[in-house]
Copies of this chain bind each other. A is one copy, B any other.
Amino acid sequence: MSSLDSLFNPRSVILIGAAHTEIKLGGIVLKNLLKFGGKVYPVNPKYEELMGVKAYRSVAEIPGAADLAIIMRPAPEVPGILGELKGKTNAAIVVSSGFAEVGETELQSAVKEKGREFGIRLLGPNCMGLFNPGRKLDTFFISHERMKRPQRGNVAILSQSGAIMASLFEAVRASHIGISKAVGYGNAVDIDESDLFEYFLGDRETDVVVSYIESLGDGRKFVEKAQALSERKSLVILKAGKGTSGSAAAFSHTGRLAGRYEVFRSILKQFRLSEARDFDELMDATKALSYQGASRKSRTPRRAPAVGGNTGNRVCIITNGGGSGVLAADECMRQGLDVVRLSAERLDHLRGVFPNFYVLNNPLDLTAQVKDEDYSLVLNELRDDYDGFVVIALPNIPGITEKLGALMRAVKADLDKLMVFHIPTDGVSKKIISLLERSRIPVYPSPERAVKGLAALLQRRQNR
């Protein structure tokens, strides 16, 4: 078993600093760990039993070895604990804080050295640890009541920050997507984003990797591993600590230097790595990519590629409200997507079937007189001319009904083109949104965010 594999898929886990009550963090982790199917060894010198499980006074008392150890003791004790773990495990999560992030750089170096000396791969310190729903493995020190876990899915989350992990979990749940594995890696004294990129390249459960980075380790290694991952899977990066104050905050948060953001950004651009500008952009891209990843596996293209259409940036906006279409077109411009005019042939054909007040441009405005079927008709007519579609359905008019859900499911099954929706989230639209998202068509609360979702899909396709 490789060391990262024993981290993500352990058969047995030692918990050092286990507690008898959920008032203590060591009690929360123990409770979460007990859902895990493998063997759990809680260590606490004061108890013979914790939460119904046999406890051990020390690591030495544990019979045999374990795949993984979790350390939840005060920072100064950690190097000594690693010594006790020598030969007992080859991977450990150091949850404890109190290292470089508060100026204790020597203590952190000691931890790093001990890990290397004893052949123990380290996650952390100052980290959230692991969540692997496929194995029911959950090492987080926040209860399920305080932080609901997302369902199982195809998105891996790598976050240096526990706070962002919690926010991402909530956003993942709201987006109706799920998690393959989540890793909070904190100060990254050993295992860093690059190691994790390499691991997830080979993880069959993962289609999309979301990476929240405050500070980079080895830049060259980062580029190499990120590129390799991007060729096979979707990778979306949010780099925090961009300015002077952000960098300083990132340093005091994880004790690693954030580096010059401009340099980082130009590298990402050069290697066509996908960057999110802020939290919402990160989630907007992740939602679209996760939906696409999930549907990709089960489908093969049923039609030849678009005539004259490279895998490019040709976008058609189909709307039933003029203003929303204009905002989408503006965002396409910002994202570098081409809102190409309709061809004369398509225009002629659509003019024959639609009322003369429909605005047959791009954006194509079906107006408040639209009917559900008009969307299918336009999408089928224009399918070969565009790389992606931004579809806007404002539900405040009688022509938009729940039928749109079934129609779009059929279009999506047949179309094999990228498609995102904008529908404002109001009382009327909840059912339609739910129907579309069950068909893995992502729906966004603003025109601009829908365009950002599509932009992520188009960039992803060009990277393949």
Q: A361-B248, A394-B163 are in contact. Are A148 and B427 (CB under 8 A)?
A: yes
Q: A242-B333, A280-B446, A448-B278 are in contact. Are A326 and B167 (CB under 8 A)?
A: no
Contact of A323 among B163, B320, B397, B427 (CB under 8 A): B163
**Mask: chain A, 65-76; 1 = CB below 8 Å from B; 0 = not:** 000000000000
A333 in contact with B446 (CB, 8 Å): no
Q: A246-B333, A252-B361 are in contact. Are A394 and B321 (CB under 8 A)?
A: no
Q: A243-B330, A357-B98 are in contact. Are A164 and B321 (CB under 8 A)?
A: yes
* A162 at interface, CB cutoff 8 A: yes
**Given A102-B359, A279-B327, 10 additional A-B pairs, CB 8 A:** A97-B357, A146-B395, A161-B326, A173-B426, A243-B330, A243-B333, A246-B326, A246-B339, A252-B322, A253-B325
**Mask: chain A, 171-188; 1 = CB below 8 Å from B; 0 = not:** 101100000000000000
* 7 A-B contacts (beta carbon < 8 Å): A97-B367, A98-B357, A161-B321, A173-B426, A246-B333, A278-B330, A280-B448
Q: In the complex the two chains form, what is the Cα distance from A142 to B426 in whole Å? A: 14
Q: Which residues of A (231-270) have their CB < 8 Å from a CB of B?
A: 240-246, 248-250, 252-254
Q: A280-B449, A329-B246, A356-B102 are in contact. Are A163 and B322 (CB under 8 A)?
A: yes
8 closest cross-chain pairs (CB), A and B: A163-B321, A161-B323, A253-B322, A243-B333, A245-B339, A164-B323, A246-B329, A246-B330
* A306 at interface, CB cutoff 8 A: no
* A424 at interface, CB cutoff 8 A: yes
A214 in contact with B278 (CB, 8 Å): no
Q: A146-B396, A163-B321 are in contact. Are A245 and B332 (CB under 8 A)?
A: yes
Q: Which residues of B contact A101 (CB under 8 A)?
A: 322, 359
B166 in contact with A321 (CB, 8 Å): yes
* A153 at interface, CB cutoff 8 A: no
A422 to chain B, nearest CB (A): 9
A394 in contact with B330 (CB, 8 Å): no
Residues of chain A at the chain B interface (Cβ within 8 Å): 97-98, 101-102, 142, 145-148, 159-164, 166-167, 170-171, 173-174, 212, 214, 240-246, 248-250, 252-254, 278-280, 317, 319-327, 329-333, 339, 356-357, 359, 361-363, 365, 367-368, 394-398, 424-428, 446-449
A330 in contact with B242 (CB, 8 Å): yes
Q: In the complex the two chains form, what is the Cα distance from A299 to B433 in whole Å? A: 43
A218 to chain B, nearest CB (A): 21
A100 to chain B, nearest CB (A): 12
Q: A148-B426, A324-B163 are in contact. Are A278 and B359 (CB under 8 A)?
A: no
Q: A248-B361, A357-B102, A424-B170 are in contact. Are A326 and B278 (CB under 8 A)?
A: no
